Amino acid sequence: MPIQTENLHIDALRLLPAPADLATLLPRDQAISRTVSDSRAAIRAILSGADHRLLVIVGPCSIHDPDAALDYAAHLARERHRLSDRLEIVMRTYFEKPRTTVGWKGLINDPHLDGSDRIEDGLPAARRLLLEINRLGLPTATEFLDPILPQYFADLIAWGAIGARTTESQIHRQLASGLSCPVGFKNGTDGGVQVALDAIRSAAGAHSFPAITAEGRAAIASTTGNHACHLVLRGGHDGPNYSPAHIESISLAAAQTGIDPGIVIDASHANSGKDPARQPAVIADIATRISAGENRIRGVMLESNLVAGRQDPVAGQPPIYGQSITDGCLGWDDTQALLRRLAEVAQSRQPLAA
Ligand SMILES: O=C[C@H](O)[C@H](O)COP(=O)(O)O
Ligand SMILES: C=C(OP(=O)(O)O)C(=O)O
């Protein structure tokens, strides 16, 4: 008997369509391309300090119901258009969730929320939603987790994140080096910022690594490096890391590494002890400092949904409409109030290059 040494833990392999097939089925038009491309340019200008506005990445912790996400997007698009002279608002459309151990991995992995893991349904659902949101003139942000999946939807993303659990990963740094959008590297879950600074340096360089082509063939991608990578502070095991003392020491460390100190602060995650009700206090603090002249903070991230809080889905029952099934979020009214406060303080900012 031949001894089997391969696929001992593989139950099944199902074919996925090629990225180009999905793009043909769900193409982006010129107006959508403009929304993506203009927002990427605006974000680059804000991060460099050339544009005085604040970047605001706001939206659900994760998308599980495309209808509710589009409803949320309609609310947010109105705020984006109203506040566009002071804020660059981009919607969090997070389809891939990195789990500390196990749990639901997001709409792409398990779109039916039942463990059936029909990625072949999740990919078109994600791409369709991104097209619909961009069609409202509202650009989108996401965390890139799997290194193959960006081929299916990265053309629709204005801002990307590499999360706290993957910032130290060479695979994700290589991936960021080839992405067309600005990318924020989160500090590590332990609070370590040096890994994110190292990641920014790594992603700015050229890399060659295995990838897939638009036609779905295995290939070697050679990248030119992404110079729009920056730091996102999300707190760590020791607590928040957005205080003036943190910004001071982190900016110094960034400067010593030759990295522009443009920083985005995530008001959620460990900066709010995972309690969404604490996000307004984080934003209030940041807003006061910005109005007093702090210009190293170029953007903020908020986790927000139509309905405040979070829920654990119950088998056989539809989840509460517009409420997170991963981390708790702010509700819409609180979100709107925070956006208006941020717009107020952004008004006083001057472009650094002026
Ligand atoms: O943002 C979402 C979560 O914080 C992240 O995916 C980790 O989640 P978990 O610790 O519940 O697995
Ligand atoms: C998982 C996320 O964040 P972090 O990587 O900071 O935990 C997130 O923003 O959804």
Q: Look up residue 18 and give its two tokens.
A: 């090629």
Alpha carbon distances (Å) from 244 to 15, 170, 277, 295, 344: 51, 31, 22, 12, 21
The Å distance, Cα 269 to ligand 2 centre, comes to 7
Query: How crowded is residue 217: how many other Cβ atoms within 10 Å of its Cβ?
Result: 9
Report d(CA 121, CA 87) in Å as an integer: 34
Ligand with the closest atom to the CA of 189: 2
Query: How crowded is residue 145: how many other Cβ atoms within 10 Å of its Cβ?
Result: 23
Helix (H, G, I), strand (E, B) or coil at 340: helix
Q: Please tell me if the CB atom of residue 186 comes closer than 6 angstroms to any atom of ligand 2.
A: yes
Q: Are strands 218-222 and 159-162 parallel, antiparallel or unpaired?
A: unpaired
Query: How crowded is residue 285: how many other Cβ atoms within 10 Å of its Cβ?
Result: 16
Q: Is the pLDDT of residue 349 over 90?
A: no
Residue with the nearest Cα to atom 12 of ligand 1? 99
CA of 163, closest atom in ligand 2: 5
Provide the CATH number for the domain around residue 73: 3.20.20.70
Task: Write the DSSP symbol of residue 155.
Answer: G
Residue with tokens 């890994």: 195
CA of 326, closest atom in ligand 1: 2
Ligand with the closest atom to the CA of 326: 1
Give Cβ neighbours of residue 118 (< 8 Å, ≥ 6 apart): 110, 111, 112
* Domain housing 179: 19-346
Q: Residue 60's closest CA among 350, 339, 347, 324?
A: 324
**Mean of the pLDDT values across residues 109-121?**
97
Percentage of the residues of the chain whose pLDDT score is greater than 90? 94
Determine the residue of 185, 190, 266, 305 to mutate for testing ligand 2's pocket, defined as the one with the most ligand atoms within 8 A of the Cβ atom.
Answer: 266
Domain assignment present for 1: no
* DSSP secondary structure of 14-45: -PPPPHHHHHHHS---HHHHHHHHHHHHHHHH
Q: Please tell me if the CB atom of residue 53 comes closer than 6 angstroms to any atom of ligand 2.
A: no
User: Rg for the chain (alpha carbons), in Å?
Assistant: 20
pLDDT at 21: 98
Chain segment 237-265, per-residue pLDDT in tens: 999 999 999 999 999 999 998 998 789 99
Tallying the residues shown for the chain, one arrives at 354
Q: Is the pLDDT of residue 351 over 80?
A: no
* DSSP secondary structure of 210-246: EEE-TTS-EEEEE----S-EEEEE--BTTB---SHHH
Report d(CA 47, CA 42) in Å as an integer: 9
Report d(CA 232, CA 167) in Å as an integer: 11
Q: Please tell me if the CB atom of residue 163 comes closer than 6 angstroms to any atom of ligand 2.
A: yes
**Mean of the pLDDT values across residues 282-310?**
97
Domain assignment present for 221: yes
pLDDT band at 354; cut points 50, 70, 90: very low
Chain segment 70-102, per-residue pLDDT in tens: 999 999 999 999 999 999 999 999 999 999 999
60 CA to centre of own chain: 10
Domain assignment present for 52: yes
Domain assignment present for 54: yes
Q: Which pTM does this prediction carry?
A: 0.97
The Å distance, Cα 354 to ligand 2 centre, comes to 34
Q: Please tell me if the CB atom of residue 52 comes closer than 6 angstroms to any atom of ligand 2.
A: no
Determine the residue of 102, 266, 274, 326 to mutate for testing ligand 1's pocket, defined as the one with the most ligand atoms within 8 A of the Cβ atom.
Answer: 326
Chain segment 205-224, per-residue pLDDT in tens: 999 999 999 999 999 999 99
Report d(CA 333, CA 247) in Å as an integer: 29
Query: How crowded is residue 322: how many other Cβ atoms within 10 Å of its Cβ?
Result: 19
Ligand with the closest atom to the CA of 162: 2
Residue with tokens 């400092």: 289
Domain assignment present for 7: no
The residue ranges of DSSP E strands in the chain, in sequence order, are 54-59, 87-92, 140-143, 159-162, 183-186, 208-212, 218-222, 229-233, 263-266, 297-303
Answer yes or no: are the C-beta atoms of 294 and 300 closer than 8 Å: no
Domain assignment present for 136: yes
Residue with the nearest Cα to atom 10 of ligand 2? 61
Chain segment 34-64, per-residue pLDDT in tens: 999 999 999 999 999 999 999 999 999 999 9
Residue type, 155: D
Ligand with the closest atom to the CA of 185: 2
Domain assignment present for 5: no
**Ligand 1 pocket by C-beta < 6 Å: which residues?**
61, 97-100, 103, 269, 326-327
Q: Please tell me if the CB atom of residue 80 comes closer than 6 angstroms to any atom of ligand 2.
A: no
Domain assignment present for 2: no
pLDDT at 13: 95
Q: CA angle, 69 as apex, 301 and 264 as ends, to 5°?
A: 10
Number of domains in the chain: 1
